[in-house]
Amino acid sequence: MAQRHGWRRVARAGAAICALLLAAPPPARAATSIRTVDGSMLEVWEGGIPTPGAQTSAGSGLFYTLTDLVGTTSGSVVPAASGTSDNSPMLALEAANNTPVVVWSRSDGVSQKIAYARFQSAAWQDVHFVTFGTRNDTEPRIGRANNGAFLFWISDTFSYMYAPINLTAGVLNAAPREILPRVRVDTTSSSTRTTTTTTGLQPISREGGTDVPTVLGNCDPLLSRQCGGQSGATGPPLQPRRLEGGTDVPVVVGATTSVWWVASNTLCATQILVRPSRDFLRMEVISFNNGRVVMLNQYEMPSALPDGYAADTANSYLQLYCQ
C-alpha cells in the first residue's frame, strides 16, 4: 500500500512537470542576469505585454536593465507588440570579446524558434533566429566548456537537442542532434571509474558555490547552505574540487530550472545535463562531452520540486565530473 501511494505521488509530480513544459507562455518571471567584464550587471527577463483596457496580457516580451556606476538603463530586447511570444531568456558571454549575448524562445509566426541577440554599444543588435523548421523549440540553455560553446534546447516538448554554436556570430556550427545518452550509469570517483547498469539511485547531497551558474531557488550558494538533496542519499561522494569561475556566471530564476538545466565551466570539457525522463517518473543526470553523452544517474522524481532543483543538481555533479 505504501509503495502504491508513493507511485501516486510520483505520478502527480510527473503530471505537474508535464504541464509545466507544455504550458504557454512559461512562468511570467523567467529571468537571467550576468555580470559583464566592466562590473556592470545585465538582467533580461520575460514579461507580459499589457492590453489596453484588459486585465490580461496579450503576449510576452523580453525586457532588460543594465546597472553600472552611472545608473540604470532599461528597455526591451526586441520591440514588444501585442500577440508576440518571447520567453525563456538565457544570457552568456561570448569568448572573443566577452560581449553579452542572449538566446530565447521566440515565435516566427508559426512555431517557436530559438532566437539570438548581442548586447553591444549599449544596445541589442543582430537579432535573428538560430533554429528553423516546423517544430517548437523552447527552453534554450547555453553551455561553455573548454572545447567550445553549445546550445541546448527542447524541441516539441520531448526531444532534447544540441548543436555547437558560435556565440559571437549567433550561428550553429553543425546540424542539431538529439541528446540520446547510453542507458548506463557511469560512476566516477577520484581513484577508480566503473560503469554499471544500476538504476533507482538518489541524488547526491550538494552544496552551492559561486563558481558555477547560480540559481535563485531553494538554497543560498553565497552562504554555502545545503541545496535540496535527500537524507540518506546514495551515489558518488562530492569531491573537494572547486571550480573557479569568471564573469560569465549567469544567475537564473524561473520554474523550469527545477526540471531542465545544463551546468558548464570553461575549465571543464564535460558538461552536466539534468532533465526529466519521457514518462516524467525519473530525473536523469547526463554527462555531455563534445557530443558524447553518458547517463550518470537516474532516480525517482521527488514529490516536490522547488525552483532551481535541476540546476542545483547539475552544478553539484559538475564539481565531481569536471575533466
37 and 155 within one domain: yes
Judged against a pLDDT cut of 50, whether residue 314 lies above it is answered with: yes
Residue 215 has pLDDT above 90, yes or no: no
> Mapped to the 3 state alphabet, what secondary structure does 178-245 carry?
ECCCECCEEEECCCCEEEECCCCCCCCCEECCCCCCEECCCCCHHHCCEECCCCCCCCCCCCCCCCCC
The band of 54, judged by pLDDT with boundaries at 50, 70 and 90, is low
Specify whether 124 is located in the same domain as 40: yes
pLDDT at 156 over 50: yes
The distance of Cα 241 from the centroid of its chain, to the nearest Å, equals 22
Which of 52-56, 127-131, 194-198, 204-208 is most confident?
A: 127-131
Last residue of a domain, one of 162, 178, 194: 178
Domain check: are 247 and 279 in the same one?
A: yes
Q: How many CB atoms lie within 10 A of CB 6?
A: 12
Same domain, 48 and 139: yes
Kindly state the average pLDDT of the residues 51-71: 78
State the pLDDT at residue 199. Answer: 33
Domain boundary among 143, 178, 213: 178
Residues 136 and 37 in one domain: yes
pLDDT at 288 over 60: yes
**Do 213 and 170 have their domain in common?**
no
- The residues with which 137 forms a beta bridge, in sequence order, are 155
What is the reported pLDDT for 303? 86
62: containing domain = 25-178
Note whether 61 and 168 are same-domain residues. Answer: yes
Residue 186: pLDDT over 70 = no
Q: Is the Cβ–Cβ distance between 317 and 212 less than 8 Å?
A: no
Number of domains in the chain: 2
Task: Fill in the DSSP letter of residue 55.
Answer: S
Last residue within a domain, chosen from 178, 212, 239 = 178
Residues 72 and 154 in one domain: yes
Percent of all residues in the chain with a pLDDT value above 70, rounded to a whole number: 64
Write the single-letter amino acid at 47.
G
Q: 189 and 174, same structural domain?
A: no
Note the pLDDT of residue 84.
Answer: 75
Do residue 191 and residue 283 come from a single domain?
yes
Handedness of CA 222, 225, 230, 233 (dihedral sign): positive
Indicate whether 92 pLDDT > 60: yes
Q: What is the mean pLDDT of residues 241-248?
A: 44
pLDDT for 251 equals 64
Look at residue 55 in the predicted model and tell me its pLDDT.
Answer: 55
Higher pLDDT, 148 or 157: 148
Least confident of 10-14, 32-36, 283-287, 290-294: 10-14
pLDDT of 60: 85
- Note the pLDDT of residue 204: 37
Same domain, 162 and 221: no
Helix, strand, coil: what percent of the chain each, to 5? 15, 40, 45
CATH number at residue 136: 2.120.10.10
Instruction: Say if residue 162 is in the same domain as residue 196.
Output: no
Residue 47 is predicted with a pLDDT of: 87
Write the DSSP string, 138-175: EEEEEEEETTEEEEEEEETTTEEEEEEEETTTTEESS-
Is the pLDDT at 185 greater than 90? The verdict is no
Mean pLDDT, range 37-66, rounded to an integer:
81
